[in-house]
């Protein structure tokens, strides 16, 4: 019980520090608008999300924690790994998340994510979910992915998978 309480205290502290760097990504596409999650990786507005969150979008926007909305442009697209780096226009000196190599994560490690699942139903307040790394490989033993017990839903895509020290160790897909 004591270990669980300590874990939750660490989680609350980490979430408090990170909330300002995780945001809602809004994509305007021809068929329907979509949304996902993204997170800043630099203070000058570079944001990471999944490529499938923005693919086919005619316009991209991000909603900041204070509700303000900024336009964004694709800077780097990696279709093979389903990653996209966006440059958010008109922002400076932003808080961003530290990144740690995913190879440092161990099976059973506690992790959490902050994201914007099912915004049309659950609203645009960020949601925090917590679990463990259950496998160090993805489906069919894919070495480029891992499996987690963290509850995830549509809209969490592109969000950070965060270790208990507050560093990003993966991107939710």
Task: Indicate if 157 belongs to the active site.
Answer: yes
Residues contacting 51, CB < 8 A, separation 6+: 77, 78, 79, 82, 83, 84
Task: Indicate if 130 belongs to the active site.
Answer: no
Phi first, then psi, for residue 7 (nearest 5°) are -60, -45
CA distances from 36 to 2, 65, 171 (A): 35, 14, 12
Q: Which two tokens stand for residue 134?
A: 């259950």
Q: Which of 34, 82, 102, 124 is catalytic?
A: 82
Parallel, antiparallel, or unpaired: how do β-strands 57-63 and 69-78 relate?
antiparallel
Task: Indicate if 82 belongs to the active site.
Answer: yes
Q: Which of 52, 102, 149, 167 is catalytic?
A: 52
* Contacts of the segment 103-106: beta carbons below 8 A, 24+ positions apart: 104/169, 105/133, 105/136, 105/146, 105/163, 105/169, 105/170, 106/133, 106/136
Q: Which of 34, 157, 165, 167 is catalytic?
A: 157
Active site residues: 52, 82, 157
């Amino acid at each position: 019980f004591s270990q669980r309480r300590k874990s939750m205290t660490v989680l609350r502290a980490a979430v408090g520090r990170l909330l300002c760097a995780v945001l809602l990504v809004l994509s305007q596409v021809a068929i329907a608008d979509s949304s996902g999650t993204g997170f800043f990786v630099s203070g000058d507005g570079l944001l990471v999300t999944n490529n499938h969150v923005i693919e086919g979008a005619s316009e991209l926007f991000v909603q900041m924690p204070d509700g303000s909305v900024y336009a964004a442009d694709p800077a780097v697209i990696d279709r093979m790994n389903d990653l996209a780096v966006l440059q958010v226009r008109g922002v400076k000196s932003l808080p961003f998340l530290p990144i740690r190599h995913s190879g440092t994560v161990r099976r059973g490690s506690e992790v959490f994510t902050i994201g914007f699942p099912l915004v049309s139903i659950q609203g645009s307040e960020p949601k925090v979910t917590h679990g463990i790394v259950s496998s160090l490989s993805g489906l069919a033993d894919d070495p480029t992915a891992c499996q987690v017990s963290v509850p995830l839903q549509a809209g969490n895509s592109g969000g950070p998978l965060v270790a208990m020290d507050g560093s990003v160790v993966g991107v939710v897909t």
